[in-house]
Amino acid sequence: MVGFCTEAEDDHNATLSLMEYAKFDFAYMFKYSERPDTYAALNLKDDVAEKTKAERLKQVIELQGKISKLVKNNDIGKTYEVLIEGISKKSKGHFFGRNSQNKVVVFPKENYKTGDYVNVLVTDCTSATLIGNVTSGKYY
């Protein structure tokens, strides 16, 4: 969350630094906004300008995109067991599923169905998705 009450530039920079240190695979990112009847709304002044919140959120999203891509690049060449959840949003010829780290994996449909477990060799990625092919190889 960016732009919480009294957040200074140093606080924001500390958030960015922590993100770089932790290298989380993904993150939920948003800017602070008051919620009725919460402690913050009742007791703290929302004193960070909306423009500042938007800029800080943009920086957080851009950094997380780079980190996510970097982390997923490390999965290229690895094989994972994947639970097929359904048809890919971008291609009817592909399934999507998740591995044990909850990473989304997309791969050609072949002769499988939703609910099947398959081993997928990761050959490419985006910042949000692993891309691969079903293999009979051992997963890790």
- pLDDT digits over 8-66, tens only? 999 999 999 999 999 999 999 999 999 999 999 999 999 999 999 999 999 999 999 99
Is there a single domain that holds both residue 68 and residue 118?
no
pTM: 0.82
The total number of structural domains that make up the chain: 2
Domain boundary among 73, 93, 126: 73
Task: Enumerate residues 6+ apart whose C-beta is below 8 A from 31.
Answer: 1, 2, 3, 53, 54, 56, 57
Q: Which domain holds residue 59?
A: 9-73
Q: For residue 1, tell me if it sits in a domain.
A: no
Is there a single domain that holds both residue 128 and residue 106?
yes
Q: For residue 140, tell me if it sits in a domain.
A: no
Q: For residue 23, tell me if it sits in a domain.
A: yes
| Of 84, 59, 64, 57, the residue nearest 127 (C-alpha) | 64
Please tell me the distance from the alpha carbon of residue 99 to that of residue 91, in angstroms, as a whole number.
19
Is there a single domain that holds both residue 55 and residue 13?
yes
- 18: Cα within 13 Å, side-chain hemisphere: 9
- 3-class DSSP assignment, residue 87: strand
Q: Model confidence at 101, in pLDDT bands (50, 70, 90)?
A: very high
Please tell me the distance from the alpha carbon of residue 67 to that of residue 41, in angstroms, as a whole number.
33
